[in-house]
């Protein structure tokens, strides 16, 4: 990853292969620099502030945009020029972070917020408005005010990295010099300990293995073990001298850290685990060395980092070089790497919520999480038949799951009653899409506006386990590549995930109960003590029931109104229906502990449980398809090119919402569902790229466009009069053929 040499401000100079951008300090602006490629959502960009000046006020700004930057259209400053332009998001970095030598990372998350963070420090959020996360994201850095030089360290998304970071003063040679200089010191540090270990009867030599991921659940494969060891993890390169069972916990931790010099385990923290007979890693809860030894037996002692360890090419290359250089010196150990260098080789202890510190969610996107879940739980070859009636689709799904031994891990082969379609993916996508809509509107456990659903307080539904059924159906759908609920209110979802939520800003109009709306409105209208006394008289008992008995205390004041409002909202949307929510999450956990994964990685799963879907744009929709042409130069090819011309005009009509009549209005989502069975790209993507194919129209009659959802192919006629005719044909085909095998 580099800066784009053609997309920089007037006073910006690029060096170090395009990774260092510097601004002439004689001017405080004209320091914009765009990156050379687009980035993905949740791709963390790492930069280092190389130089600052005290001559100017203001500091670094970073930003994202959906608009492709133009060479001759670089403004002098991002604020206000880009900030006030639709399609741009500009974030001023706090000045206290803009110090020489500080390493920062910033990224756009799936919730549509830009997050800026000093490595290991506090996070700063800014909601990005007007950006479409489905479209390409360009990144720019504004060297403004006292920030005069920034160096790109690379980017990270999940376990993938770019621009491996090398030490400024010499890469591998630097580490080799450190190795030679500190070798004797390392031996001397352990000389006394070695003699002591050999003389004591409590000597123990455990087999160690450091894994890469904080959420590692199973023993790594043989290939993974080999790769991890080459990268400085896995089995320690240097021979272990063993431990004394009388050591303190601190001495044990120091010993473990010394076995892995390229990883700053002291900084990121770690836990101990052992493997059971099924190859699952189980955490050890012993608090002394003797208890660990007893609990472990002859098994390997697995070391689980508290945050994922990010590897890069330099790590593996450096360790490999040192190993080869010392192949004939097994008694010599690798030295500890300086903290600054180790810090660059490891991930930071970062999390999107300050209330939780032990999650590795930022290092995995939702696709990676779901693939890992499928790998652990689903069968790749076994199938289960599911017979579905379109008129009773929800009941069909309920009947399928009613068996307590329902094989949810098997791939469902869906057959719609009365339809001739072999399920090669299309019927299954269609089934799960309709099922999630039915769960929302027909099960009777949700209420509220679209995209802001809350759980109903229904004791009868609770006794009938409808909330549990909903959880099972959602987990089943998502696990097999289908959609999620995509309808919960975001505040409710955060509370369900045990996250703090700022309810002071909650919109009371989203509450489905008119009486509760009036009460919340009354709370917010309190401006004077007389208003507060009126509130006590009218709704004091209800506020007490919401968990705020202080409403009757003499010291209650107007300053308590936001807290009263927050307590009332929390009670209504979450605490009041806690039994229903518990049953719902129990249903999710019935299939592979799915909810536990969601709660740990709650931000990643926001698009699965809340409504964050942006309507498909024409460019995004077009990019989904590939065209299967006939041979160039043939009459068929010429007719196909004319059809595609009209097809593009049809897409333009849809984008411009022509015709205006709602009953005649097509949407990109409808065409996608007609073609693939899914009205949006699934979290795991499509198994193959949807395609546009062609057919020869019949001489008599009119054959409408048709689709094969299993091959995800849309078939258009080679001969069509104009775009209006093609639009009408597509509209009729989609609206009149809602069933498989009848197109």
Instruction: Give the CATH number of the domain where residue 589 resides.
Output: 3.90.1750.10
Quote the distance between the C-alpha of residue 305 and its chain's center: 20
Q: Are 58 and 146 in contact (CB under 8 A)?
A: yes
Average pLDDT over residues 61-79: 86
Catalytic annotation, residues: 710
Cα separation, 244 vs 289, in Å, equals 8
CATH number of the domain at 671, please. Answer: 3.30.2410.10
Quote the distance between the C-alpha of residue 285 and its chain's center: 30
pLDDT in tens, 396-405: 999 988 877 7
* Predicted local distance difference test score (pLDDT) of residue 738: 55
* Predicted local distance difference test score (pLDDT) of residue 363: 45
Average pLDDT over residues 533-537: 92
Flag whether pLDDT at 706 surpasses 80. yes
Question: Between residues 329 and 41, which one has the greater pLDDT?
Answer: 41
Q: Is residue 364 part of a domain?
A: no
Answer yes or no: do 38 and 139 share one domain.
yes
Domain that holds residue 509: 503-575
Quote the distance between the C-alpha of residue 306 and its chain's center: 19
18: tokens are: 């395009």
Report for 56-60, 185-189, 668-672: range of highest mean pLDDT: 668-672
pLDDT bucket at 455, cuts 50 / 70 / 90: very high
pLDDT in tens, 601-628: 898 899 999 987 778 888 889 989 999 9
* Predicted local distance difference test score (pLDDT) of residue 543: 93
Flag whether pLDDT at 436 surpasses 50. yes
Answer yes or no: do 274 and 422 share one domain.
no
pTM: 0.55
Flag whether pLDDT at 86 surpasses 80. yes
* Predicted local distance difference test score (pLDDT) of residue 483: 92
Number of domains in the chain: 5
Flag whether pLDDT at 188 surpasses 50. no
* Predicted local distance difference test score (pLDDT) of residue 160: 59
Answer yes or no: do 396 and 264 share one domain.
no
Token pair 């996508």: residue: 429
Cα separation, 726 vs 17, in Å, equals 51
Answer yes or no: do 468 and 595 share one domain.
yes
* Predicted local distance difference test score (pLDDT) of residue 349: 30
pLDDT in tens, 307-338: 777 664 333 333 333 333 333 333 333 333 33
Flag whether pLDDT at 456 surpasses 50. yes
First-to-last C-alpha distance (Å) of the chain? 48
Quote the distance between the C-alpha of residue 359 and its chain's center: 12
Q: For residue 691, give the H/E element and its range.
A: strand 691-695
Question: Between residues 65 and 350, which one has the greater pLDDT?
Answer: 65
User: Any idea which of 264-273, 490-499, 636-645 has the lowest mean pLDDT?
Assistant: 264-273
Instruction: Tell me whether residue 681 is exposed, middle or buried, using C-beta atoms within 10 angstroms of its C-beta: 0 to 12, 13 to 18, 19 or more.
Output: middle
Q: Name 152's Cβ contacts closer than 8 Å, sequence gap at least 6.
A: 1, 2, 3, 19, 20, 35, 45, 46, 47, 163
Question: Between residues 351 and 306, which one has the greater pLDDT?
Answer: 306
Flag whether pLDDT at 736 surpasses 70. yes
Q: Is residue 337 part of a domain?
A: yes
Q: Is residue 362 part of a domain?
A: no
pLDDT bucket at 346, cuts 50 / 70 / 90: very low
Quote the distance between the C-alpha of residue 523 and its chain's center: 37
Answer yes or no: do 77 and 98 share one domain.
yes
Question: Between residues 742 and 707, which one has the greater pLDDT?
Answer: 707
Average pLDDT over residues 266-271: 77
Answer yes or no: do 583 and 571 share one domain.
no
Q: Is residue 363 part of a domain?
A: no
* Predicted local distance difference test score (pLDDT) of residue 470: 96
Mean pLDDT taken over the chain: 80
Answer yes or no: do 244 and 264 share one domain.
yes
Flag whether pLDDT at 539 surpasses 70. yes
pLDDT bucket at 703, cuts 50 / 70 / 90: confident
Q: Is residue 725 part of a domain?
A: yes
Answer yes or no: do 321 and 458 share one domain.
no
**Whose CA is closest to 610, among 499, 496, 451, 477?**
451
pLDDT in tens, 210-231: 888 877 888 887 777 877 877 7
What angle, 0 to 180 degrees and rounded to 10, lies between the N-to-C axes of helices 426-441 and 393-401? 100
Instruction: Tell me whether residue 23 is exposed, middle or buried, using C-beta atoms within 10 angstroms of its C-beta: 0 to 12, 13 to 18, 19 or more.
Output: buried
* Predicted local distance difference test score (pLDDT) of residue 740: 45
Token pair 């044990």: residue: 252
Answer yes or no: do 462 and 590 share one domain.
yes
pLDDT in tens, 114-131: 888 887 777 887 778 778
Answer yes or no: do 585 and 661 share one domain.
no
Cα separation, 664 vs 727, in Å, equals 10
Q: Is residue 355 part of a domain?
A: no
CATH number of the domain at 138, please. Answer: 2.60.120.920
Answer yes or no: do 442 and 487 share one domain.
yes
* Predicted local distance difference test score (pLDDT) of residue 511: 94
pLDDT in tens, 585-596: 999 999 999 999
pLDDT bucket at 698, cuts 50 / 70 / 90: confident
Q: Which residues pair with 197 in a beta bridge?
A: none
Answer yes or no: do 707 and 650 share one domain.
yes
Q: Name 396's Cβ contacts closer than 8 Å, sequence gap at least 6.
A: 386, 387, 388, 389
Q: Is residue 144 part of a domain?
A: yes
The rounded radius of gyration (Å) of the Cα atoms in the chain is: 30
Q: Is residue 295 part of a domain?
A: yes
* Predicted local distance difference test score (pLDDT) of residue 181: 46
Cα separation, 536 vs 591, in Å, equals 47
């Amino acid at each position: 990853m580099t800066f784009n040499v053609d997309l920089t401000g007037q006073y910006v100079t690029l060096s170090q292969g395009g990774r260092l951008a510097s601004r002439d300090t004689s001017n405080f602006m004209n320091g914009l620099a765009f990156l050379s490629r687009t980035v993905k959502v949740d791709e963390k960009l790492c930069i280092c502030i190389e130089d600052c000046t005290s001559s100017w006020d203001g500091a670094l700004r970073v930003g994202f945009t959906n608009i492709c930057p133009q060479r001759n259209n670089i403004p002098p400053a991002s604020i206000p020029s880009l900030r006030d332009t639709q399609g741009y998001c500009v974030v001023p970095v706090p000045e206290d972070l803009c110090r020489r030598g500080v390493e920062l990372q910033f990224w756009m998350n799936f919730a549509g917020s830009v997050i800026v963070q000093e490595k290991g420090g506090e996070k700063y959020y800014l909601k990005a408005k007007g950006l479409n996360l489905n479209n390409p994201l360009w990144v720019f850095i504004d060297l403004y005010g006292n920030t005069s030089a920034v160096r790109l360290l690379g980017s990270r998304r999940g376990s993938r990295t770019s621009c491996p970071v090398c030490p400024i003063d010499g890469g591998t040679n630097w580490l080799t010099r450190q190795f030679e200089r500190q070798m004797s010191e390392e031996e001397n540090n352990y000389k006394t300990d070695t003699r002591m270990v050999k003389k004591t009867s409590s000597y123990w030599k455990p087999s160690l293995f450091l894994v890469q991921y904080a959420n590692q659940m199973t023993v790594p494969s043989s290939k993974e073990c080999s790769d991890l060891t080459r990268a400085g993890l896995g089995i320690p390169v240097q021979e272990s001298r063993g431990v004394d069972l009388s050591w303190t916990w601190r001495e044990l931790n120091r010993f473990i850290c010394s076995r892995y010099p390229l990883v700053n385990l002291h900084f990121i923290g770690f836990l101990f685990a052992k493997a059971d007979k099924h190859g699952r890693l189980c955490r050890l809860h012993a608090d002394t060395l003797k208890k660990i030894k007893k609990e472990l037996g002859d098994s390997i002692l697995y070391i689980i980092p508290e945050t994922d360890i990010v590897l890069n090419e330099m790590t593996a290359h450096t360790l490999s070089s040192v190993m080869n250089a010392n192949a004939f010196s097994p008694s010599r150990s690798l030295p500890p790497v300086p903290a600054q260098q180790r810090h660059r080789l490891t991930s930071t202890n970062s999390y999107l919520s300050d209330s939780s510190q032990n999650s590795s969610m930022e290092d995995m996107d939702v696709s990676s999480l779901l693939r890992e879940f499928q790998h652990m739980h689903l069968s790749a070859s076994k199938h289960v038949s599911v017979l579905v009636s379109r008129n009773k689709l929800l009941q069909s799904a309920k009947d399928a799951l009613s068996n307590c031994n329902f094989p949810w891990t098997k791939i469902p082969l869906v057959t719609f009653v009365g339809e001739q379609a072999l399920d090669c993916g299309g019927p299954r996508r269609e089934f799960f899409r309709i099922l999630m809509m039915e769960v929302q509107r027909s099960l009777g456990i949700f209420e509220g506006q679209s995209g802001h659903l809350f759980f109903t307080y229904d004791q009868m539904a609770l006794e009938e386990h409808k909330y549990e059924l909903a959880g099972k159906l959602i987990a089943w759908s998502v696990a097999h590549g289908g959609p999620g609920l995509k309808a919960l209110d975001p505040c409710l979802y955060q509370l369900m995930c045990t996250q703090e939520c700022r309810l002071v800003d909650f919109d009371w109009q989203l509450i489905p109960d008119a009486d509760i709306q009036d009460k919340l409105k009354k709370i917010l209208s309190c401006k004077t003590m007389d208003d507060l006394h009126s509130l006590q008289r009218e709704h004091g008992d209800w506020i007490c029931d919401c968990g705020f008995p202080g409403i009757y205390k003499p010291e209650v004041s107007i300053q308590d109104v936001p807290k009263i409002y927050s307590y009332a909202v929390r009670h209504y949307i979450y605490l009041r229906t806690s039994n229903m929510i518990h049953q719902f999450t129990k249903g999710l956990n019935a299939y592979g502990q799915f909810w536990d994964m969601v709660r740990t990685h709650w931000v990643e799963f926001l698009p699965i449980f809340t409504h964050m879907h942006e309507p498909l744009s024409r460019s995004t929709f077009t990019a989904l398809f590939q065209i299967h042409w006939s041979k160039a130069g043939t009459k068929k090819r010429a007719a196909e090119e004319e059809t595609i011309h009209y097809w593009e005009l049809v897409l333009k009509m849809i984008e411009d919402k022509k015709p205006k009549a709602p009953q005649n209005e097509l949407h990109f989502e409808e065409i996608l569902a007609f073609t693939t069975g899914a009205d949006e790209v699934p979290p795991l993507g499509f198994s193959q790229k949807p395609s546009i194919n062609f057919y020869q129209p019949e001489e008599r009659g009119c054959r409408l466009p048709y689709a094969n959802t299993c091959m995800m192919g849309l078939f258009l006629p080679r001969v069509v009069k104009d775009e209006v005719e093609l639009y009408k044909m597509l509209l009729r085909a989609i609206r009149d053929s809602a069933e498989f095998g009848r197109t």
